[in-house]
Amino acid sequence: MTTRAAPTEIAIHAPDAQRMGFFTDTTVCIGCKACEVACKQWNDLPADGSRFGRGSSYDHTGSLNASTWRHVRFVEIAEPTPQAREDAVQRLEAGGGGRVPDIPATGGGSGSGAGDLDLVAIASQRAAPPGAVDVAAAVAAMDEWVFMSDVCKHCTNAGCLDACPTGALIRTEFETVVLQADVCNGCGYCVPACPFGVVARDPDDGRAAKCTLCYDRLQDGLEPACAKSCPTDSIQFGPYDELVDLAARRVGELHARGMPDAYLYGASDDPDQELAGGLGAFFLLTQPPERYGLPAQADSPVQENVLPATTAAYGAALLAAAGAAAAFLGAARRSAGHGPLRFARRRAIRSWQR
């Protein structure tokens, strides 16, 4: 029995204008992509089309872009953990009554790679007929699948916000980062400034676009469309501090249930370890972040390089201006002070000459 709160247990207090955010629990995501559909429907975003042919992946909706602000990643891991393989073998044995001594690779021999298993050989080693093979268990032995609904992270230290020269990107009263399309000039500076690769430009008009965390719904006291549509409560929405406490309890619960690899990405207890100062949309993961297409470090190139250089340039310019102003004032004072003395001396000389 899980202890995660239902969405109704986290009240939305729009008038209080406290920080709001997302907590995405990947351990209960089923990859249904309902959040993608709800996001597109509410924000009137065009469909990108369903297309396969992306290597060996079953993910057919691409990635985050200017018209997809929520995307469920299919993380198909070619080499499952030893525990996942052991669980798969136990399921195979329980399903057919026969023992599976070794899972052979295609072409004979003992399988050392996770992605080269021979399902026909697995079936022939069991007492049950080949047609009774537990296909789900066999697939689990081959690959470990996890899903993650990806979205803009609404960073505390948002690189895109710092890079925007027009004020199109703003921080709202809910501490979310919103991009105003009518103010964007299409310069694209925000795109490389995002360490997560979230911000993208519309190929038609060049303007940038990303998740707004349903700012219009928040203003009316409603939860975002994606969280509203999630059938497993994988996407939790509410006051940020409450979500962090909820997520920490969930991690403790998973550890107690034998999942020691569960951890929070983007909501660390150590401020020095926070990604981008802390993510307004953070995740519970069970694999290294790179497996989910997330960076282990989230330092914006703009904040690391451009802003310090710009600050230094502004500082040097201010110092130069201050020096010029001081020199000008000093000269003016000297001129003002010597003027009367010079004229007084001239008058004295002329009076003596007379």
Answer yes or no: is 187 a known binding residue.
yes
Annotated binding residue at 41? no
Residue 158 is assigned to a ligand binding site = no
Backbone angles phi, psi at 33, to 5 degrees: 70, 20
Q: Is 39 annotated as a binding residue?
A: yes
164 is in an annotated binding site: yes
Is 107 annotated to bind ligand?
A: no
Residue 142 counted as an annotated binding residue: no
Is residue 155 annotated as involved in ligand binding?
yes
Q: Tell whether residue 230 is among the known ligand binding residues.
A: yes
- 265 assigned binding-site residue: no
274 annotated among ligand-binding-site residues: no
184 is in an annotated binding site: yes
Residue 43 known to bind ligand: no
Task: Find out whether 72 is annotated in a ligand binding site.
Answer: no
Annotated binding site: 29, 32, 35, 39, 152, 155, 160, 164, 184, 187, 190, 194, 211, 214, 226, 230
Annotated binding site for [4Fe-4S] cluster: 29, 32, 35, 39, 152, 155, 160, 164, 184, 187, 190, 194, 211, 214, 226, 230
